[in-house]
Every structure is written in C-alpha cells, then in structure tokens.
Amino acid sequence: MKYALVTGGSRGIGRAICVKLASQGYHVLINYVSNEAKAIETLEMTKAAGTEGEIIKFDVANIEETAAAIEKWQNDNKDSYIDVLVNNAGVTADSLLPMMEPQAWHKVLSTSLDGFFNVTRLVIKKMIRKKHGRVINMASVSGIIGLPGQCNYSAAKGAIIAATKALSKEVGGKNITVNAIAPGFIKTDMTNALNEEELKKGIALGRFGEPEEVAALAAFLASDDAAYITGEVIAITGGLKG
C-alpha cells in the first residue's frame, strides 16, 4: 500500500489532489484543521475514486500539534510510511502592505511556510530511510511575479519556491524528488470573490483553471514517470500575462 499525505486536503485544490491520488492507488491521508464535514466529504470521494483513505486533523502552523498527529500515525503504522507529501495548506489575507495588520502577515506566513517546515521535516525522515519519496509543494504564481495586495502571500510562496530548490539538493541522493506547483487563478473558495470576467482577460486561455487540472500535475509529479524531475517550479496559469 502506498500512502500520501495532503495537507489542507478537505476542499479546493487539496480535495482534487486527494481524489486523483486515490484513483492512482494511494491510501490518502486527508489533513484538515477545522471543517470536519468537508473532510468527510473528501474521504467519501476518495473511496469512490477507488482507494480507502483516512482523515488526520492538525493545524500545520502548530508545531506541537503537527508533530503529535504525524508521530501517532507513524507509531500506529510502523510497517508503512508516507511516500508522497503534498504541502497544500495555505490561507490568504489580502491587503496593501501599509494597511496590513501584523496578524494577517503572520497567519499567512505561518500556515504556508511554517507549515511546510513542521510537516516536511518529520515526514521526510522516513523517506530518507526508505530511499524513496515525493515532496510536492503548492506555491503560487504570486510567489513568482508578485501580486498587489499579496505581499504576505507572495513572501510565503516565494520562500516555498526557494525552500523547494534547496531541499531538492539535500535529498536528491536518497531518491527523493522535491518540486513545486505554482497555480494561477484556479476556481476554488479562495478565488470566489475575485472578478473572474475581468481577470480572465489577462489569461491567454481566457478562463480560470479547474482544481482537477492542478491535481493532474501533482499526480504526475508523484509518479515514477517524473523520477528525473526535481527542484523545479511548474506554473499552471493558462498563460497568465505579465
């Protein structure tokens, strides 16, 4: 049995990745922090896709809570290990920097960046011992080109991109790949409030992306077909201009 952990897996892009990996035969650990109902919905969807999964609750931004949950799972599954880690959990709190409250800065950074550290440092240890693994970090086009009103989100995702490149060099010799996906405008709860009609004018394909399209890329990076791809940041933006 192959195991995959998807943080922030209860909805949006995370949910789509859970379902796609389940269809590829992975037993998916669906991480969530508050919305249990959505996590249960995702679990049912992974079962319908073909593979049993499970829910694992913890706040990636909380180092003690994260360690307790992951260590408990590993102790309960001593003969298994998480072969694929998708660091997908993230939040936005948009505001122009002069008006940004400190809590908005820290919440975004702690969820995306501290979350990456808190989860990956634990999961990757067993990947190293097993000499196989895939780490897929959800970045954003905001971390590549920067977007106004998102200094906190751009800073977090830009740091994730840099960490992806550094970690890939640390663990490549152990047959572990580390890559990042940088979505543009994808139809999720996070983009519901955006003016899609206006924004899609700046996209070559003329539309927002679907979570399933991002999930397909994540599944490819998790597969053996992507064994020689590491340290890369792959944008999936529909040809976002600028």
Task: Show which residues are catalytic.
Answer: 153
Residues 6+ apart with CB under 8 A from 22: 28, 45, 46, 47, 49, 50, 51, 53
Sheet strand arrangement including 2-6: 54-57, 26-32, 2-6, 82-87, 133-138, 176-183, 233-236
Structure token pair of residue 231: 């340290």
Q: Where are the beta strands (DSSP E) in 76-172?
A: 82-87, 133-138
Amino acid letter, residue 148: P
150 forms beta bridges with 95
Dihedral, 26, 35, 236, 150 alpha carbons, nearest 10? -150
**What's the sign of the alpha-carbon dihedral 152, 157, 158, 163?**
positive
- Which uninterrupted H or E stretch holds 185? none
- Which uninterrupted H or E stretch holds 26? strand 26-32
